[in-house]
């Protein structure tokens, strides 16, 4: 999918005097560092996160468990060889899906038990950006570019099933992390700013969190979130989260100053706490006392009416371009194919307040492509099964889907002067299951235009069964599709 571009030929809407190659190693790394953080090592960049966590058990519908809000605070260190170290910490809370109050205890809807909630408090979360490693990009209209950072993670579970049976899903940790960072590429190219405004989308699939005490119960969690760079640092963090940080986790007010390994995850953090409690002779799980009589009220999900106007005025044409990856427990991902095409979408509002769903009718057409050459695939050698199969065109005719009202909501993305839209949808059809997560960005200036002229862009992530034409037989695993999308206007 990654080819060499001279971007000014593709995206300039006025005469341009600059040119650059996004796949030049120095340019690619410089742009990515300025998008995700700052070249200035004295600057601590806050990337804010807001979204939801869903669960899906086999043959069961998707269920929203929590809203999810927090931030990553990072600094970038330029090394003598031209590479960068990224030093960061991250802190995220779980909120009630209806009241949006921060939760410390969860009554597990599957087991009926009370669970002690562990906030995401990972320190460190470090990375190394090596000069020469090209971050894949997607070019969009309106001077936008998307940087893609996608991983299927398979490694030994820190919580081995023998010693942590209540908390461990098995000997292998299995998850998928899909990021796309959007930025105005003209600003990157024309200015010398160490840091530029950016926003993006994050999707994740994982095993149940250890503190849920689900053990080997079949099923998965699905995360979908918007994120944006806070150009004024911690000032964008919700007051109630800052209060928790200052009182209990003050280290998360600053980014790390040195590179350390290994990184911390929710699994290793949980293990550390449990091990310390066992050493002290305490119970593994300590349910905190919380004020259950606090004055909380249900909060309906909200969608900016300008977005609804743009999405429901007529049939919408959306371009998609992405990659299909394998997810097989214990095995590293394989980029199987690319795909590209158009979706034609008709969205309908709920008929009334008592109607719990949006509806959409979808038509689509497209092609599958070789992930290395970009050529159209007519026949495909399956690297997993070792057989060659015939590849069809992408054709979807009049697919009708229901989208629960509370799975659709919008939020302001201040640094980009934009509004983000989060949408989740699932089909629990036995072995033919799928979970679809769509995150879109709308510029405020676009939203004030006529409905037919409103431009939007974003990310589509799909976790599903293998496609029938792949002829996977009894190979256990899932297909992961990740695409950049934008409206044709």
8 A C-beta contact, residue 12 and residue 29: no
pLDDT at 12: 42
pLDDT at 293: 52
Burial 309-323 (b: 16+ CB within 10 A, else e): ebbeeeebebbbbbb
**Cis? peptide before 124, omega within 30° of 0:** yes
pLDDT at 356: 87
pLDDT at 2: 38
pLDDT at 466: 97
Measured between its terminal Cα atoms, the distance across the chain in Å is: 24
Question: For residue 32, is it left (φ>0), alpha (ψ between -120 and 50) or beta?
Answer: alpha
Vertex 411 angle, CA 410 and 416, to 5°: 120
pLDDT at 10: 40
- The structure's pTM equals 0.95
Residues of the chain with pLDDT under 50: 1-17
pLDDT at 7: 39
Q: What is the C-alpha to C-alpha distance for residues 19 and 21, in angstroms, rounded to an integer?
A: 7
Rg (CA), the chain: 22
8 A C-beta contact, residue 225 and residue 47: no
Tokens linked to 189: 């190219």
Tokens linked to 168: 């461990």
pLDDT at 430: 76
Phi, psi (rounded to 5 degrees) for 31: -65, -40
* Residues in the chain, total: 489
Q: What sign has the CA pseudo-torsion 119, 45, 243, 180?
A: negative
């Amino acid at each position: 999918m990654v080819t060499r571009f001279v971007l000014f030929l593709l995206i300039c809407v006025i005469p341009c005097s600059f040119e650059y190659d996004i796949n030049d190693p120095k340019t690619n790394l410089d742009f990515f560092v300025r998008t995700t953080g700052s070249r200035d090592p004295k600057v601590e960049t806050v990337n804010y996160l807001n979204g939801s966590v869903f669960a899906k058990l086999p043959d069961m519908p998707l269920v929203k468990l929590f809203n999810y809000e927090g931030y990553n605070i990072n600094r970038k260190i330029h090394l003598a060889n031209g590479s960068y170290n990224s030093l960061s910490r991250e802190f995220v809370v779980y909120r009630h899906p209806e009241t949006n109050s921060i939760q410390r205890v969860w009554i597990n809807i599957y087991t009926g038990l009370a669970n002690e909630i562990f906030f995401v408090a990972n320190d460190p979360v470090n990375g190394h950006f090596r000069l020469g490693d090209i971050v894949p990009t997607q070019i969009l209209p309106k001077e936008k570019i998307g940087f893609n950072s996608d991983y299927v993670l398979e490694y030994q579970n820190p919580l081995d099933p023998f010693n942590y049976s209540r908390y461990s899903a098995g000997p292998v940790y299995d998850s998928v992390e899909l990021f796309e960072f959007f930025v105005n590429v003209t600003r990157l190219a024309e200015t010398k700013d160490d840091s530029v405004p950016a926003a993006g989308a994050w999707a994740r699939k994982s095993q149940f969190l250890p503190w849920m005490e689900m053990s080997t119960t079949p099923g998965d969690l699905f995360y979908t979130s918007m994120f944006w760079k806070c150009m004024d640092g911690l000032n964008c963090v919700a007051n109630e989260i800052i209060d928790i940080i200052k009182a209990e986790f003050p280290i998360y007010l600053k980014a790390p100053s040195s590179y350390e390994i290994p990184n911390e995850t929710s699994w290793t953090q949980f293990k550390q706490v449990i091990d310390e409690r066992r050493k002290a002779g305490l119970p593994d799980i300590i349910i905190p006392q919380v004020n259950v009589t606090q004055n909380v009220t249900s909060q309906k999900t909200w969608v900016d009416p300008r977005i609804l106007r743009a999405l429901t005025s007529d049939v919408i044409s959306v371009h998609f371009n992405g990659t299909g990856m394998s997810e097989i427990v214990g095995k590293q991902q394989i980029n199987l194919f690319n795909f590209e095409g158009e979706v034609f979408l008709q969205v309908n509002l709920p008929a009334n307040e008592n109607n719990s769903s949006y509806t959409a009718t979808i038509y689509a057409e497209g092609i599958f492509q070789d992930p290395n050459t970009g050529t159209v695939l007519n026949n495909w050698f399956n690297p997993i099964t070792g057989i060659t199969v015939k590849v069809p065109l992408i054709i979807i005719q009049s697919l009708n889907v229901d989208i629960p009202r509370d799975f659709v909501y919008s939020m302001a993305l201040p640094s980009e002067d934009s509004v983000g839209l989060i949408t989740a949808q699932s089909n629990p059809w036995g072995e033919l299951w799928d979970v679809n997560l769509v995150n879109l960005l709308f510029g405020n200036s676009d939203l004030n235009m006529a409905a037919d002229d409103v431009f939007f862009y974003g990310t589509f992530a799909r976790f599903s069964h293998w496609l029938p034409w792949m002829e996977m037989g009894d190979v256990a695993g899932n297909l992961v599709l990740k695409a950049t999308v934008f409206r044709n206007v």
